[in-house]
Amino acid sequence: MPTTLRAAREPDDVPADVPGESTFVEANGRTFHVVEAGPADGELVLLLHGFPEFWYGWHDQIRPLVNEGYRVVVPDQRGYNRSERPGDVADYRIEALSADVVGLIDAYDRETAAVVGHDWGGVVGWWTALHSPERLSAFVAVNAPHPTVIRRTLSGDPAQLLRSGYALFFQVPKVPEAVIRAANWRLPVTMLRESSMPGTFSTADFDRYRAAWNREGAFTAMLNWYRASGRHRPAPETDEVTVPTRVIWGVHDQFLKRRMAYDSVDYCADGRLTTFQEATHWVQHEQPMKVADAIVDELA
């Protein structure tokens, strides 16, 4: 029987130029490591990272949001870095990941929160906007398509299926972990470097990522997000998103076709699209202030 790895309650190293405190909260029956910043009575904003990042993926956007008076909470999502790691693949189904978001809103004693998600964090945000719209005041998806767009594109577009081929490799047990961990995590470092604009990630950034990936059971938990989605593919109860939504998209995304951004906005009753020409899948790192401005604009 897979074992849940409890979060070690040791604070993370928050860079000196990033406002916020590393702490732990209980939500949805799990322990989450979070970085909190901003006034306690400010409107709540949750920043959800994607694969293969952790809270640090949003470090450039924390200060601009705090400067606007928001209470910013950036969790390590389920299984990542210092958050709790359930041991069963089924624990990483999209319904559980979305319930974590609602649980975090409850943990901060709020009725609603604005949710901003990149990559997998955006997929979780879309699901939450579709199934718990009353809990979201606004939603911003960053290079993350609507779940119906993902399903329809993968089933009808061989080129996108090829781009997503790595997800099939992740379905194999144990082998991906061994391959990815080899040579001091050379494969994910190379992937991040070659799929982003030159100079996007520094040596210090990669040191932080390696430390997060290297925590006991962490990378298996991260891959379990893909394994759960491969084994369990629920269709959303509705396709229309009623929460005010902004889609932000780096147009040179090597993993997701640009058309998916436009198709995603079409499912929004109140949706907008902001594209960045000089950016890739990692747009929040490449255009940090412009992305922050777009988020603030949407929340306002």
Of the candidates 119, 209, 252, 263, the residue annotated as catalytic is 119
119 in catalytic set: yes
Q: Do the beta carbons of residue 42 and residue 70 sit within 8 Å?
A: yes
Rounded distance between C-alpha atoms, residue 11 and residue 139, angstroms: 28
Annotated catalytic residue, options 80, 226, 253, 263:
226
52: preceding bond cis by omega (within 30 degrees): yes
Q: Which of 33, 49, 281, 285 is catalytic?
A: 281
User: Can 281 be counted among the known catalytic residues?
Assistant: yes
Catalytic status, residue 118: no
Q: Catalytic positions, please?
A: 119, 226, 281
